[in-house]
A and B are shown apart, each in its own frame.
Chain A
């Protein structure tokens, strides 16, 4: 069965520090992979997506993610976080039949 695991429910970093949010997926093939962000009292917005090709994909606001087939991972990274990056981040996997969400990682950026 297809699944997505975000092992860290909460991550706290200081402003200006680098960030990595972890995501592991389980799927027999290569799914389409997404990272969404949810700011307080808002819906989810797309940060970036991976369909195929270059395993490092760039997104909005300086975010990037790296796909690893061997590790079944799609980790999200940012070189230097800002306080406005505080939000909940969801890793999402999809194929032709189903969209599966991870449980989310709440990021708190300390000033």
Chain B
């Protein structure tokens, strides 16, 4: 069964601190995505990747970096966390470039104080 695992599931950070959200998939999918979910906005794309070593900017990349060191792993990095980045973050994997089903992790709730 397709599996996407995120860690940590809950994180409290201080303003200005560094936060790394990790995602691992066992689907052997080329594509991985990071979204954030906020009330009234649905899911918004932050960064995505089409394979190991590649990252692309999504619709709201400012304040975030991404890293795809391997097929299985995709990280989202907040170098200087701000309260506006308090949100729930979802990682997803997929096989087609926007044409296929996405498989989501269970989300990481980040609170920046």
Q: Which of A66-74, A76-84, A101-109 contacts B (4 or more CB under 8 A)?
A: A101-109
Q: Is the CB of B107 within 8 A of A90?
A: no
- A99 contacts B45, C-beta separation under 8 Å: yes
B36 to chain A, nearest CB (A): 11
Could you tell me if A43 and B107 are in contact, using CB atoms closer than 8 angstroms? yes
Report, as a range, how many residues of chain A touch the other chain.
Answer: 20 to 34
Interface of chain A residues 89 through 103 with chain B (CB within 8 A): 90, 92, 94-99, 101-103
User: How large, as a class, is the contact surface on chain B?
Assistant: 20 to 34
B7 CB → nearest A CB, Å: 14
Residues of A within 8 A of B99 (CB): 32, 94-96
Q: Does B74 contact A (CB under 8 A)?
A: no
Q: Tell me which residues across on chain A come within 8 A of B100, comparing CB atoms.
A: 32, 94
Residues of A within 8 A of B35 (CB): 101
Q: With a CB–CB cut-off of 8 A, which chain A residues contact B11?
A: none
Contacting A at CB under 8 A, from B5-45, are 33, 35, 40-45
Q: How many A-B pairs fall under 8 Å by CB?
A: 52
Q: Which residue of B lies closest to A43 (CB)?
A: B104
- Chain B residue numbers with a CB within 8 Å of A98 are 98
Contact with B along A26-49 (1 / 0, CB 8 A): 000000101010000111111001
Q: List 26 A-B contacts (CB under 8 A).
A: A32-B98, A32-B99, A34-B101, A36-B104, A41-B107, A42-B107, A43-B90, A43-B104, A43-B105, A43-B107, A44-B102, A45-B104, A46-B101, A46-B102, A49-B101, A90-B43, A94-B100, A95-B99, A96-B99, A97-B97, A98-B98, A99-B33, A99-B98, A102-B42, A103-B42, A104-B42
Interface residues, chain A, with chain B CB atoms under 8 Å away? 32, 34, 36, 41-46, 49, 90, 92, 94-99, 101-104
